[in-house]
Each structure stands twice: as structure tokens, then as C-alpha cells.
Amino acid sequence: MQPPNLSPLFQPLALAGTELPNRVMTSAMTLQYGEGGFISDRHLAIYEERARGGVGLMMSEQLTASPLSPSPFANEILAYDERQVERFAALARVLEPYPARFFAQLFCGGVSGSSSAGLEGWGPVRGPSRIPEPGGEQPLPLSAGEIAQIAADFGRSAAHVKAGGLDGVEIHGAHGWLVGQFLSPFYNRREDEYGGSVANRCRFATEVGAAIRAAVGPEFPLGLALTYDEMIGADGITEEDTLAQLEVLLAAELFDFFDLSIGAPHSVHFTIAPMAVEEGFSLGFAARARELVAGRAAVFVAGRVVNPRMAAAAVRDGAADVVAMSRAQLADPHLVRKAREGRLTEIRRCVGANVCVGRAKNGEPVACVLTPATGRELDGWAHGEPPRVAPSAARRVLVAGAGPAGLRAAAVAAARGHEVSVCERRERAGGHLADLAWLPTREGWGRAVEDLLAELARAGAALRFATAVDRELVERERPDVVLLATGAGWEESGACPALPGGIAFGAGAEVLGLDAALELARLDPGRLGRSVVIADDTGTYAPLGLAEALAAAGAEVSYLTARNEIGAEPDFHLELPHLLPRLRALGVELAAATVVRAVAGAEVEIGDLWGGGGRTVEDVDTVVLALGREPRDELAAALAGAAPEVRTIGDARSPRPTVAVIEEAERIALAI
């Protein structure tokens, strides 16, 4: 196969007073690593790792530019605080050995802020008009004096960035933050010089830009991040409106680049697009914008670009000057270096699971589901080759189970120099990730399994299918270490944490645990019958994904959850706004705070969790239980004393989210 032409990615780009060494960037991403309002050493470590990995440009996470309009996050980072200059300088010193450039993104929260984040500086949220974001607080409209003060604060903050030795500034005018709210006809209902026409709505952005330009001078890159479509129709920013805004903003002769992406509070599920969204969906509009601004400013674009081939094609075809591959570099911060060296098959791919995003939304430090080292660089976790053991310390390691925990532990242990063998009782690897990968829009989990297997093969570990580990096998092969990664199964007893006493089963009840139902449906959805009830008490994607697959095959499906909301986990990861319309279009019944009380034959008794009336559903072929998982940990007792060291890891130790079991597996393998 002809190797892809990635050369467009590695062309430098002159930008005001600096030069980007290549055309790959990381967008501003909330990392939740701030400490006391300042950039932390954890920030420095993750940024240095990306620089070491070859990225051309990094954006900071959003830094608050004015105390008049704070961030909604309790651990916001304050660019307007003069003491931040030293933290900027510390970052500049860390990055000095590398060609990568670093721009600070300055923002204000506006109506997306919070009147009570943290414990200091409380006050009403402020915005252009009295229009809140969906589910947000009623804002206090900004006065003309306050607008001028915020613009001046942006200038002061930018001066701090330059004084600290960083390379440029981006104004965050996208995604429903303050500058973007002034640009949006939905949020901006003002009747003064800041509202109404496109030129008026752009006025605040140009005043902020002018204040920054006055503070940093002409030879310091300055750009503006823009939402090109709020996805709420003519009431908000549309593509045509953005093109008109660009004409006004270009005429101001302030901005060296425009950073384009999609979405706002109404459509954040596209802003940080999950697995269900097509890769590279923003490139079409970027090409239109670049045609307009070419020769006057550069165009950056973000929109789920995770493949270097796609990024190179976007640059080659003139869709953009710089392409963001942001979450892709959470999964593999050495993506650019590997692409440059022709090692595309060694890149650990981002699958759009959005565990990183969910954690950021929840105020938790960002982590990657597939790459435990991300965010832990300061703690000594290494990306790439793990520390090797001396040949004399090499041990024979037997891993039972080729799910995510077993595969990761085996690959890391083998890469360190141990002799590793993996035994999997099934005919395929991947564990519960493989169980999910066949569901609609879940192909990304299949890519994750492929990458786990590729890493295992590169490390030199052996993999045997249809091989169950037992005492006889262990005593015959005499490993030094046995890692039991046998996973967990969905229980079928009817025990439900939300329903004391559990589900009552009568004669003839056709009941399956979720894992058994997924396997049968993968082979033939019709095996579960024409009428299926799914009882959920997990809030995870899998039971909803099964409901979609069965309904798409023609079954009548009722999804009942004991929780007060449907799909807490997919909502956390921004999948729910994509999934719910598909389920409704297929006619899936969706009910929250609802439990299955009893199953007898083809009759299912359903009740309200909080004591309301019940009903009986007749002619049900199968009831699927997604109520809880039980660890498959029986091997630990059976193998006691059979090897010098026997450890249970992953879901077999205790069922947890995938991000937790992969982290544990890598940590244990690093300690062998």
C-alpha cells in the first residue's frame, strides 16, 4: 500500500512575530488541573509531553481575563492576576527546548458563568442581555462601562501572557462564552451600539482585540475563536452569519487567525463531538471561511479530527491552515512525531469516548480512558516505552483474560521485558469493549480493541484463544506471576439496589443478563424475540445501545430505568443528545424511575419507583437485566498457592468504569 502523503502537515506557518513548526495544534481544553487560580506543575508536565511529541501549537485551557465575568469552574485560572506571569514564565522555560508554540486562550464566562463557584467573589452572572443559557442563571446585562472594563482587562491579561514569555493569544469568542454571546443574536438582544446588526454584534470582539493589540503590539499573534453555527437556526449564529462576521472582523485588521468550530450551550454535543458524530465534520465550513479570509488571516479548525491522513488532506486541499487534533493527543501525545516518522499504525487512536470531557464537566481532573499516563506525567507515568527491567529480573507472567485490563497489563509487562502469555476463554479478545463494538455508532470501541491487540503484538506477548486458565495449566506452565483479568458478568438473580427484595421470578420467565443478551443479539437480534423489556439500574450506554439495536431489527422494546434520569453516563459523555432521537424514532419506550417488580411467563409487572401505580405488560419474549455486575473472581481461590504471585485485577477485582480498570492494569504492570 502506498504510504499516505502527510507532508502538508509538516510545513511551517508564519504567523505575526512567530512561526509554527507544523500544522497540528491542540485546542484549548479544560483540564481542571489549576491550583489556587494558577497554572499548576501538572499543566507544565502535560504540555511538555505534547511538545516532546511534536505538536506545532498548543492552546492553554481557557484563562479568565476579567474578574467581572468569571469562569463557572471553581478551579479557574486567572490570567488577570499579575502573579500569573511567573507561572507563564515557568511554562515558557519548560517548553523552551522544543519548537512547539504556546498561545494562551483568554475568555470570560458571561451567562455561562456561575454566581456561586468557589467561595470567593460571588456576584450575579453578567451577559449582553437578560437571556440565560439553557438551564442557566438569569444574567445581569452589562453596562457600557463594564464592557469597557472587561475589554481593558483582556488587554491587561494579554500583557501578562507576553511578559511571561508565551507566544500568542487567542480570544475565546466561541461556544457560548461572553465574547461569543455578544456575537450571537440569541444572547445579544441589546438595542445600543453593541446589538442588532452584524457590525454591532462584532463591536465587543473588536474592542477586546484592540485592547489586546495595544498591550502586546503588532508582532504578537492574536486570534479569535468563533462558533460557525450554534445549531439553533436563524435565532443564533449560522454559517452565513459567521461569514458576514468574518468580513467585519477582517476589516478591523486586528486578528492574525480565526479558530473555527461548532456549537454553543444548546449544541455542546457537537462542540465536543462524541463517538456517534462523523469525524472531520467541521472541515466543509472551514474551507468556505478560508476561501474568504485567505491572504488576510489564517484559519484554524476543530471538529473531531483524529486521523493524521484527514488532517493532512485538509491542509493540502485548502480547508484550513492549521488542524486541531486535541482529544487525539490526550490519547497519544506523540501522535505528530509518530506520523512524521511513518509510524501511523503505532498511534493510539482517540475513539470519542469522551471520558475526558465528562470529567472536565464534572470538575474532575481530566484523564483519558485509553491512556492512563495522560494527566499523570508529573507522577512519573511515561508515554511510549515503559521502564524496562533488567534481564535478570525478567519474570514469566500469565494473564487470564483478554479484556481491556488483561490486554493492557500484558502489553505493558511484555514491553518491560517480562515473558508474557495471555489466555482468553473466548474466541475473541476485547472483553466488554468487544461486546459493545457491534452496537450502532460504537465502532470506536472496536478500534480501541485493535489498538490494544497491536500494542500486545509489538511488545511480544503471546495470545491464546479458547484457553481457560485453571490450576492444571498454571502448575504445568509455572509462571512467576498470574494476573486474573477475567472480568465481570451481568447478574441474573434480579437483585436491584433500587428495589429491596429484588425482582420476583415466576415459572417460565425468560430472563437474560445484559452480557448474554448482547452476545445473542450480536449473532442474531431475532433470538431475543419480538417484544423485549430492558430493566436498567446502571445508567450506562450498553442497555440503551442494545435497545437501539433490537428496535432497528424490528423488535418492540421497552427500556425502563430505576434511576431518576435516562442515560446518566451517555449524558455525561455528550452521547445522549445523539442517542435519544434515534431511540425515539425507532419507537423505543423510555421510562425513568420505573422498575420491573415481577416476571412470570410472558407477563412483566412494572411499577413506579416512588410508589405510584403499576401495570402489567403481556406477551414479552425476553427480559434483559442490566442491574449490576458480579466479578468473575472464583479463580483466585482455585489458584491459591499455584504460583508465587496471583493477583486479581480489573473488573474481576471489582467492576468499575473502563477508565479505572485500564489505569489499574497499567499501574500493576509497571510494578511487576
pLDDT at 494: 93
For the chain, the structural domain boundaries read 7-379, 391-487+632-671, 504-629
pTM to 2 decimal places: 0.95
The string of pLDDT tens digits covering residues 391-412 is 999 999 999 999 999 999 999 9
pLDDT at 614: 86
User: Residue 106: which region, alpha, beta or left (left: phi > 0; alpha: psi -120 to 50)?
Assistant: beta
Q: What is the mean pLDDT of the chain?
A: 96
- Across 351-374, b (16+ Cβ under 10 Å) vs e yields bbbbbbbbbbbeeeebbbbbbbbb
CB 622 within 8 A of CB 596: no
Is there a common fold for 7-379 and 504-629? Answer: no
Would you place residue 128 in the very low, low, confident or very high pLDDT band (cuts 50, 70, 90)? very high
* Count of beta carbons in the 10 Å neighbourhood of residue 407: 30
E strands within 338-464?
396-400, 419-423, 462-464
Res 2 pLDDT > 70: no
User: Residue 96: which region, alpha, beta or left (left: phi > 0; alpha: psi -120 to 50)?
Assistant: alpha
Beta 622-626 vs 511-513: how paired, if at all? parallel
pLDDT at 385: 86
pLDDT at 166: 98
The string of pLDDT tens digits covering residues 50-91 is 999 999 999 999 999 999 999 988 889 999 999 999 999 999
Q: What does 274-301 look like in DSSP terms, one character per residue?
A: -TTSPTTTTHHHHHHHHHHHTTTSEEEE
- Assign a CATH topology to domain 504-629: FAD/NAD(P)-binding domain (3.50.50)
Res 140 pLDDT > 70: yes
Percent of the chain scoring above 70 in pLDDT: 100
Would you place residue 509 in the very low, low, confident or very high pLDDT band (cuts 50, 70, 90)? confident
**CA count, 13 A, side-chain hemisphere, 331:** 26
**One-letter amino acid for residue 111 of the chain:** V
CB 143 within 8 A of CB 159: no
The string of pLDDT tens digits covering residues 340-370 is 999 999 999 999 999 999 999 999 999 999 9
CATH architecture of 7-379: Alpha-Beta Barrel (3.20)
Place of cell 485546542: 27
Percent of the chain scoring above 90 in pLDDT: 94
Distance in angstroms (rounded) separating the CA atoms of residues 662 and 455:
14
Residue among 378, 593, 636 nearest 486 (CA): 636
Superfamily of chain region 391-487+632-671: NAD(P)-binding Rossmann-like Domain (3.40.50.720)
Give how far Cα 589 sits from Cα of 168, 498, 532, 533, 594, Å.
Answer: 52, 20, 11, 9, 12
The string of pLDDT tens digits covering residues 228-263 is 999 999 999 999 999 999 999 999 999 999 999 999
